[in-house]
Amino acid sequence: MKIHKEGRKILFFTLLGLLIANLVLYYFNSNLLVNRIFTGASAIVFLLILQFFRSPYRNLLLHEDLVIAPADGKVVVIEDVEEPEYFQGMRKQISIFMSPINVHITRNPVSGVVKYFKYHPGNYLVAWHPKSSTKNERTTTVVESLAGPEVLFRQIAGAMARRIVWYVKEGDEVNQGEEFGFIKFGSRVDIFVPLDTEVKVQLGQKTKGGQTVIAQLKTTV
């Protein structure tokens, strides 16, 4: 396992700040118990941030008509909804909530060509709030899959998240399972597929990005 590039600068400055704080405390405070407690708390804080930015190796599952989980987390929504931004019609929505202890890399659920991309600034409602999909900071990506149908997926910032990172743009060819972005400190990913898509997960099921099959598309090519 390695540390994701999005976390290296944060981890460096966090470690530097904690080291300085501990040195100052030990210099000015003679209470050994307090100093040890602060050092222990500093170590816990650093380890929590370190685990957030971990980038574990994944044996990716690849198949052109399968939709693979774009993120680690838990399935919190499976329903037919109106998708107003791109499709402007009914689609099947599958949403994955990513807690602070999950890996926060986001991966392409299908291979194909990026037909649409847009970044939306917004609020920071809790990621499971029904309006977070349309009110929070988010990105929307639509890929025309190799199987034919277009798949829309949306990175959504949560109450803790304050930055969404993406690595794609319109016209890019993307490969299933490869990283398309990163969401820092709590978030959610929504996936929108055609209504005739066969869902392969259940509410409450845990997913692994790049490995868990969440749906199977009806091939049109």
- CA distances for 94 relative to 37, 97, 221, angstroms: 44, 10, 24
Contact 11, 50 (CB under 8 A): yes
Helix (H) or strand (E) holding 199: strand 198-199
Q: Which residues contact 131 (CB under 8 A, 6 or more apart)?
A: 125
Q: Which of 112, 70, 116 is nearest to 94 (CA)?
A: 70
Contact 4, 17 (CB under 8 A): no
The reply to whether 187 belongs to the active site is yes
Determine the Cα–Cα distance for residues 150 and 210; give it in Å rounded to an integer.
18
Tokens 């685990």, located at residue: 51
Buried/exposed 175-199: b ≥16 CB within 10 Å, e otherwise: ebbebbbbbbbbbbbbbbbbeebee
Beta bridge partners of 18: none
Q: Which residues are catalytic?
A: 187
